[in-house]
């Protein structure tokens, strides 16, 4: 049998993993061998007694920078042992993650994720080991670990068999280039608020049309930037 989809995470906090990825759909799939997690302690690839992974920035300034030699040793060793790419460095300076990118990675053999801490990572190892720099949004986390978890979760839920109802993947936000329509369940009237009448009508074509209009309207209001790319 071929190897399961594999997430390799290079971090100074391997104990953070699987963390939330050990629960719910991702956790079940991990336990069932649908995907594999290799959380690698970068300090294992340091060479000094103190297992140092960072140093002061050339040119001065605040904070510390992660050393290229330590990261390269970790990447090369895991790659030699079969860790699949693409190689991704999580950083707020990166290009924004999209659902299209997530789909592409989920269809591959896995991802190798580098989590930065401190001020960042020496730029030379990003270039020399061909890392793509990716951000999960325009905000700054205190390290790449939570971003790596977000990337892994987004990929794993697209692996075959992880989400039971494939239709729910097709209808969700972004898959049609739009935000998703709103959902309703029982009670039919709650705190004086009725469920939209059309949803009780049983007219499937009308319900589809209503949902489409809702999706368009909410996208126009919240994310007009998405509409420019809808055909
Ligand atoms: N590390 C810190 N902030 C981040 C972000 N927004 N995206 C990806 N990695 C990060």
Please write the tens of the pLDDT for every residue from 159-197. Answer: 998 987 766 777 787 778 899 999 999 999 999 999 999
CATH number at residue 215: 1.10.1270.20
Q: Is the CB of 226 under 6 A from ligand 1?
A: no
How does DSSP assign 15-60, residue by residue?
A: GGSSGGGGSHHHHHHHHTTSEEEEEEEGGGG--STT---EEPPTT-
213-225: b or e for each residue (b if 16 or more CB lie within 10 Å)? ebbeebbeeeeee
Q: Is the CB of 114 under 6 A from ligand 1?
A: no
Q: Looking at the domain assignment, is residue 131 inside a domain? A: yes
Q: Looking at the domain assignment, is residue 162 inside a domain? A: no
pLDDT tens, position by position, 9-25: 999 999 999 999 999 99
Which residue from 88, 145, 147 has its CB within 8 A of the most atoms of ligand 1, so it is best to mutate? Answer: 147
Nearest-atom number in ligand 1 for the CA of 116 is 1
Q: What is the pTM of this model?
A: 0.95
Output phi, psi for 200, to 5 deg. Answer: -95, -5
- Residue 200 Cα to ligand 1 midpoint, Å, equals 43
**What number is the average pLDDT over the span 120-142?**
97
Q: How many domains does the chain have?
A: 2
In a shared domain, residues 31 and 99: yes
Q: Give the structural domain span for 198.
A: 172-229
Binning pLDDT at 50, 70 and 90, where does residue 81 land?
very high
Output phi, psi for 11, to 5 deg. Answer: -155, 155
Q: Looking at the domain assignment, is residue 207 inside a domain? A: yes
Q: Is the CB of 11 under 6 A from ligand 1?
A: no
Binning pLDDT at 50, 70 and 90, where does residue 228 land?
confident
Q: Is the CB of 132 under 6 A from ligand 1?
A: no
In a shared domain, residues 98 and 141: yes
Nearest protein CA to atom 5 of ligand 1, as residue? 92
């Amino acid at each position: 049998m071929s190897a399961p989809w594999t997430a390799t995470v290079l971090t100074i906090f391997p104990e953070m993993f699987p963390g939330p990825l050990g629960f719910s759909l991702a956790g079940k799939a991990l336990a069932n061998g649908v995907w594999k997690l290799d959380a690698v302690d970068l300090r294992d690839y340091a060479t000094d007694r103190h297992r140092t992974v960072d140093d002061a920035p050339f040119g001065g300034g605040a904070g510390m920078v992660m050393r290229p030699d330590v990261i390269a040793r970790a990447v090369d060793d895991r790659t030699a042992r079969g860790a699949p790419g693409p190689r991704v460095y999580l950083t707020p300076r990166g290009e924004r993650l999209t659902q299209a990118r997530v789909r592409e990675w989920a269809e591959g053999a896995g991802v190798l994720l580098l989590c930065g801490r401190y001020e960042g990572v020496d730029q030379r190892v990003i270039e020399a080991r061909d890392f793509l720099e990716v951000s999960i949004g325009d905000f700054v986390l205190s390290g790449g670990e939570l971003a790596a978890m977000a990337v892994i979760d987004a990929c794993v839920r697209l692996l075959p068999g992880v989400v039971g109802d494939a239709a729910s993947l097709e209808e969700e936000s972004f898959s049609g280039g739009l935000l998703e329509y709103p959902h309703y369940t029982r009670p039919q009237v709650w705190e004086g608020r009725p469920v939209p009448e059309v949803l009780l009508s049983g007219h499937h074509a009308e319900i589809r049309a209503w949902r489409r209009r809702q999706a368009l309207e909410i996208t126009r209001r919240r994310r007009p930037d998405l509409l420019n790319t809808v055909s």
